[in-house]
Amino acid sequence: MPDSLKQQMIIAVVCNELGSVCVFTEAASVEIMKKTEQTWEELHHIPFSLQQDTSMLDFRHHIQMLAERIKEYSKIIVGQDISGIAYHILNKNNLLIFEVDHVDAAVLDDVMTDIQAYEEDTFRETEDLPPYPVSKENDGIYMLDMIQVQLRYPELSTKKILVPFFQETPFLQLLMVCSHVPAWLTESVYYGRYIIQTKKQGVNILVSIEPKGCNVKGDDTNGYSL
């Protein structure tokens, strides 16, 4: 088993003043939760909040400092919504970001189990995993498991993986499994060119991206579904 799985027994949770999981902008703390034999227990408490009058420079600095604190314990962070600049900085620090509606032992178990399954598969795999979408049937429909790719290539951001594909590859549809829709995909330049649909699948998100004007019919999702 990869050594990194040991660190995945610990998850950072964005919490409000009541101690409940919340959106990032409403955070009062980040609770570092550790899996014991029977349950999840608080390992460490990191006070954290973003003031309304914080300058953009301070905003970025505070998030970067938080990312460095989290990485002392874990590479996983969960919250109700982590987007925009916060997502960009946390993702750049190679933290795996998950969105959840609520947090209990079962949800944290699901997150941990999902990541461990991906890493164990990657650890056992002998062939190189390509860091780009692949079309198995050469039919214009491409698949990409962003979670597994970033586990294998932590130095690559979602933008470094996808932008060259968009620029260089004609395609009908891209089906992508991820833990969070990359914030930069919501920029108007991409929504202007593509039809982007999302669907929750457990703790993950299935994203379908089609160039406008394409119409993919039938069951072409290779086990993925929208």
pTM metric for this prediction: 0.56
Beta bridge pairs of residue 34: 10, 41
Q: What are phi and psi of 32, to 5 degrees?
A: -90, 110
For residue range 161-191, what is the model confidence (pLDDT) as tens digits?
999 999 999 999 999 999 888 888 877 777 7
For residue range 113-158, what is the model confidence (pLDDT) as tens digits?
888 776 676 566 535 688 999 998 888 999 999 988 888 888 889 9
The mean per-residue pLDDT over the stretch 96-104 comes to: 93
Tokens found for residue 105: 């032992």
pLDDT at 213: 76
Tokens 């960009």 appear where? 88
Residue 212 has pLDDT above 60, yes or no: yes
Tokens 């938080």 appear where? 66
Distance in angstroms (rounded) separating the CA atoms of residues 215 and 202: 27
Distance in angstroms (rounded) separating the CA atoms of residues 158 and 147: 10
Contact 146, 153 (CB under 8 A): no
